[in-house]
């Protein structure tokens, strides 16, 4: 059985990604942080091919525990989806040092930690897919998101460099840059204005993102290396 480790699984996008891989018969290692959101994953509760792993991925030791537990359960990790992320939007003059640090550590350091920890097993297996969830904000920028765009631009650049290190080892590393997707992250944005500005005339769904992640995680995408795939309804 192939297995996938998905971070940020309790969020809308993470959950949709988990459902997509489950349908394809993968074992799931679902990583969450807040206990009070674990019930979002209730549908997987009594499934022996699913494990729930708690960890704050800003912390390398916690990432290590998560990866060790996933490897103990499945013996290998075929697909790693680095999906956990956060925003702390503020115009730069109001942005505190902590706001910048928190977002960079959560969105970028966690991708470094998790990729580094999982890569060893992928190299051993001579097989692996790493999919890093970035954002169009990391490509074109967005006012109020200097921290977030910097983190996601970092994720894209990290993806390209790592891909060049491991492409010959049968490991695909790619990024996926969503536009505006319905989730907790976008629930406080003024949606009417955003929708008006989008060529497609509607926000994206978590499933729109999950479909593209599933494709990148499959062997149909085996000649795609070091790219950022944009799923944004034509936004940029
Ligand atoms: N929604 C959009 O429009 C959009 C657009 C572009 C990119 N994205 C990206 O898509 C990904 C998923 O976002 P979403 O929309 O599904 O947002 P969401 O509903 O807020 O989910 C984010 C997930 O990340 C987890 N997380 C945050 N900080 C963490 C940490 N330090 N350690 C472990 N887990 C942590 C959250 O867990 P807790 O709730 O327990 O903290 C949650 O499960 C993110 O990387 C986001 O940047 C989203």
Across the range 178-187, mean pLDDT stands at: 96
CB-ligand 1 contact for 217 (6 Å cutoff): no
* Ligand 1 probe mutation, 6, 7, 8, 131, most atoms within 8 A of CB: 8
Longest dimension (CA), the chain: 50
Tell me, what's the pLDDT at 126?
A: 98
139 is a domain residue: yes
DSSP-assigned letters across all residues of 138-203: HHH--TT-HHHHHHHHHHHHHHHHHHHHHGGGTEEEEEEEE-SBSSGGGTTS-HHHHHHH-TTSS-
206 CA closest ligand 1 atom index: 16
170 is a domain residue: yes
181 is a domain residue: yes
| Helix or strand (DSSP H, E) at 6 | strand 3-6
Q: Which residues are catalytic?
A: 148
Tell me, what's the pLDDT at 158?
A: 99
Phi-psi region of 142 (alpha: psi -120 to 50; beta: other; left: phi over 0): beta
Sign of CA dihedral 228, 71, 8, 28: positive
pLDDT over 70 for what percent of the chain? Answer: 100
Are 143 and 89 in contact, with CB atoms under 8 Å apart? no
Across the range 142-155, mean pLDDT stands at: 98
Around Cβ 214, how many Cβ atoms within 10 Å?
23
Beta-carbon contacts of residue 94 (< 8 Å; ≥ 6 apart):
none
CB-ligand 1 contact for 169 (6 Å cutoff): no
What domain range includes position 109? 3-231
The pTM of this model reads 0.99
236 is a domain residue: no
pLDDT over 90 for what percent of the chain? Answer: 100
62 CA closest ligand 1 atom index: 32
Across the range 138-157, mean pLDDT stands at: 98
Are 110 and 57 in contact, with CB atoms under 8 Å apart? yes
Q: Of all protein residues, whose CA lies closest to atom 35 belonging to ligand 1?
A: 84
In the chain, how many domains are there?
1
Tell me, what's the pLDDT at 26?
A: 98
Across the range 61-78, mean pLDDT stands at: 98
Q: Of all protein residues, whose CA lies closest to atom 21 belonging to ligand 1?
A: 11
Query: Domain containing 23 — which CATH number?
Result: 3.40.50.720
181 CA closest ligand 1 atom index: 3
């Amino acid at each position: 059985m192939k297995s996938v480790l998905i971070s940020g699984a309790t969020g809308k996008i993470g959950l949709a990604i988990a459902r997509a891989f489950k349908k394809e018969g993968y074992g799931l290692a679902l990583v969450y942080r807040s206990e009070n959101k674990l019930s979002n994953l209730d549908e997987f509760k009594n499934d022996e091919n699913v494990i729930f792993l708690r960890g704050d991925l800003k912390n390398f030791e916690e990432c290590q525990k998560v990866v060790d537990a996933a490897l103990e359960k499945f013996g290998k990790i075929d697909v790693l989806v680095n999906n956990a992320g956060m925003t702390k939007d503020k115009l730069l003059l109001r942005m505190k040092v902590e706001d910048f640090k928190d977002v960079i550590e959560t969105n970028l350091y966690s991708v470094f930690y998790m990729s580094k920890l999982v890569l060893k097993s992928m190299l051993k297996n001579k097989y692996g897919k790493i999919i890093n969830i970035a954002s169009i904000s990391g490509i074109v920028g967005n006012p109020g998101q200097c921290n977030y765009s910097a983190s996601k631009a970092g994720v894209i650049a990290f993806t390209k460099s790592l891909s060049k290190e491991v492409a010959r080892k049968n490991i695909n590393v790619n990024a996926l840059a969503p536009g505006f997707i319905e989730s907790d992250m976008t629930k406080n944005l003024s949606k009417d204005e955003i929708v008006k500005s989008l060529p497609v005339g509607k926000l994206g769904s978590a499933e729109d993102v999950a479909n593209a992640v599933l494709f990148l995680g499959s062997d149909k995408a085996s000649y795609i290396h070091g790219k950022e795939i944009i799923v944004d309804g034509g936004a940029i």
